[in-house]
A = this chain, B = another copy of it.
Amino acid sequence: MPLLVTGTIGIDTVHTPTAKAEEVSGGSCSYFAAAAAFHHKPIRIVGAVGGDWPNDHAALLESIDGLCLDGLERRSESKTFAWGGRYFDNMNQRETLFTELGVLEEAPPEVPASYSDSRFIFLANSHPSVQLDLLSKFPDRELAVADTMDLWINIARDELLTLFKEIDGLIINDAEAQQLTEISNPITAAKAIIEMGPGFVIVKKGEHGAVLVHNDAIAILPAYPLELTGVVDPTGAGDSFAGGFMGFLAASGRLDFSAMQTAMAWGTVTASFTLGSFGLDGLASTTREDLEARMFDFRRIARVN
């Protein structure tokens, strides 16, 4: 069950209340792929970087076992997508300091012919028309899941609604779900989004966990409880959650509700390692054993009995 992800490979600069990290390895595609690779191989990447992409970022991504980088375009005359942000005191909210689109302003990356048998597709946040175009290249897909953001809800709502007819699942955060539906309750909002097309919706609530709505069934989980010292940088946690979720599903080959519920727990636990360091370092320095040990903890901590 080859799993393909398309999204950004970025250079992030992150300010937190106590620290600052400059030009760390980031981007939705990177976080998703590194998280998914714990669960499944290969993870196929479709993305583009510029000539300024740091060698150590390349080395980090290449060091992650299970990633296929055949679909990673290096454009020597272009600039890599770059993002800078600052987190406020509670680490739950942030402001964007700068966004340099770089390669995102150019043509989307090509999909290698060798990727055409991909069955699981994750469309990380980008313009819904770009997501739709990518999706059209995989008529035999078994599961297509997308993310989106406030910008597209505002300026490309029609294209987004067209995308919703084509995807099986949507993973968005609570603020976006409310923006899309004007409904503050995440479950009621998810049901309204399902009416727009996707078979299931996961609403991510950051430190408060996530909720899955699939037809009339609901699954809800808290986030893995981290203390203050365990939250170094929340950037990429949502993409890591999606990567753990989709990676587990691709590995299991199952798409039933029970498998999705288990996949959500793996997404939760995988994302918790992203929070522990700046950039991709948290995931890159985590072992499968670390992940399983924390899953064991999570089952005990979040047990309903």
Contacts and interface: CB of A to CB of B under 8 A. Distances in A.
A298 interface: yes
Contacts of A302: 219-221, 302, 304
7 contacts: A187-B226, A188-B228, A218-B225, A221-B222, A261-B305, A262-B305, A265-B305
B205 A208 contact: yes
B225 A303 contact: no
Interface in A168-200: 183-185, 187-188, 191
Nearest to A222: B220
Given A185-B227, A227-B187, A218 B301 contact: yes
B301 A305 contact: no
Interface of A: 89-91, 183-185, 187-188, 191, 205, 208-209, 211, 218-222, 225-229, 231, 258, 261-262, 265, 298-299, 301-305
Nearest to A229: B188
Given A89-B184, A90-B184, A304 B227 contact: no
- Of the listed residues A183, A225, A265, the one surrounded by the most CB atoms of chain B closer than 10 A to its CB is A225
A216 to B, nearest CB: 11
Nearest to A298: B304
Given A185-B226, A299-B305, 13 more contacts: A91-B184, A187-B226, A187-B227, A188-B227, A191-B227, A209-B222, A211-B225, A220-B222, A220-B225, A220-B301, A221-B304, A302-B302, A302-B304
B304 A303 contact: yes
Given A265-B305, A303-B304, A304-B299, A183 B221 contact: no
Contacts of A262: 305
Contacts of A218: 225, 301
A94 to B, nearest CB: 15
Contacts of A188: 227-229
Contacts of A298: 304
- Of the listed residues A91, A222, A231, the one surrounded by the most CB atoms of chain B closer than 10 A to its CB is A222
A209 B210 CA distance: 12
A299 B225 CA distance: 19
A87 to B, nearest CB: 12
Per CB-CB distance, the 7 closest pairs between chain A and chain B, nearest first, are A208-B208, A185-B228, A188-B228, A90-B184, A220-B222, A188-B227, A302-B304
Contacts of A184: 89-91, 228
A220 B91 CA distance: 20
